[in-house]
C-alpha cells in the first residue's frame, strides 16, 4: 500500500513538472521539443533531476485553471501556424519549379509561358491530358531530354513535398490529441485533489 502511494506521488510530481515546463515554454514563446514516433523517450526518475532540468520554470507556482485553459488555446493556435510554414514552403518550391520549367520550354521551344505552365503542371500532377506535347514544333532532342529529366526530378520533388506535409500534419494532430489528454488528466487530477 505504501509502495502504491509512493508511485502515485511520484507520478503526480512528474505530471506537475511536465505541466510547469509546458507553461514555461508557452509563456516564453518557445515551442517544446517533440519526439517523433519510433523514437525512444527517456524520462528522468527523480524530482530533483527534473527540477534541475527545468530550471526557473520548476520554481514558478501553478497558474489557476482559467489561465491554463487560455494557455492551451494559444498553444493550439500556435501549432496551426506552424503547420502553415511547411505548406507555404512546399507550395513555393513547386511553383518555382513549374515556372522554371515553363521558362525553359519558352527558351527551347518558343512555347508561350501559359502553355509551358500548363504542360508542367499537368505533367507533375500526373494528369497528363496529352493536349500539349513539347518537342513537336522543332525536331530537337534537347527538348525531349529536358522534359524527361524535368518530369523525373519533378515527380521526386512532388512526392517529397507531399511526404513532408503528411508527416507534419500527422505529427501536429497527434500532439494536439496528446495535449488534450494531458489537459483532461490534469483537470481530473485537480478534482481528485480538491475532493
For 47-62, the pLDDT digits (tens) are: 444 444 444 443 433 4
Give the other-Cβ count within 10 Å of 20's Cβ: 20
Distance between CA 173 and CA 179 in Å, rounded?
10
Helix 65-109, helix 113-124: angle, nearest 10: 120
At 81 the pLDDT is 58
Give the other-Cβ count within 10 Å of 14's Cβ: 15
pLDDT, one tens digit per residue, over 110-134 is 899 999 999 999 999 988 888 888 8
On whether the CB atoms of residues 105 and 116 are closer than 8 A, the answer is yes
> Which CATH number is 82-168 given?
1.10.287.70
Give the other-Cβ count within 10 Å of 187's Cβ: 13
What's the pTM? 0.53
At 156 the pLDDT is 95
Ranges of each domain in the chain:
82-168
At 137 the pLDDT is 72
At 26 the pLDDT is 62
pLDDT at 72 over 80: no
At 172 the pLDDT is 84
Amino acid at each position: 500500500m505504501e509502495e502504491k502511494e509512493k508511485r502515485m506521488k511520484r507520478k503526480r510530481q512528474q505530471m506537475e513538472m511536465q505541466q510547469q515546463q509546458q507553461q514555461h515554454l508557452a509563456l516564453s514563446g518557445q515551442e517544446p521539443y517533440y519526439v517523433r514516433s519510433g523514437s525512444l523517450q527517456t524520462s528522468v526518475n527523480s524530482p530533483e533531476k527534473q527540477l534541475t532540468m527545468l530550471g526557473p520554470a520548476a520554481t514558478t507556482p501553478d497558474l489557476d485553471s482559467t489561465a491554463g485553459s487560455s494557455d492551451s488555446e494559444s498553444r493550439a493556435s500556435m501549432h496551426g501556424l506552424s503547420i502553415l510554414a511547411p505548406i507555404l514552403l512546399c507550395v513555393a518550391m513547386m511553383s518555382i519549379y513549374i515556372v522554371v520549367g515553363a521558362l525553359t520550354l519558352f527558351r527551347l521551344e518558343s512555347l508561350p509561358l501559359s502553355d509551358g505552365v500548363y504542360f508542367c503542371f499537368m505533367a507533375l500532377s500526373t494528369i497528363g491530358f496529352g493536349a500539349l506535347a513539347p518537342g513537336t514544333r522543332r525536331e530537337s532532342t534537347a527538348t525531349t531530354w529536358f522534359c524527361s529529366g524535368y518530369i523525373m526530378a519533378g515527380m521526386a520533388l512532388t512526392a517529397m513535398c507531399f511526404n513532408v506535409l503528411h508527416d507534419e500534419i500527422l505529427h501536429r494532430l497527434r500532439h494536439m490529441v496528446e495535449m488534450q489528454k494531458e489537459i483532461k488528466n490534469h483537470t481530473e487530477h485537480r478534482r481528485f485533489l480538491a475532493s
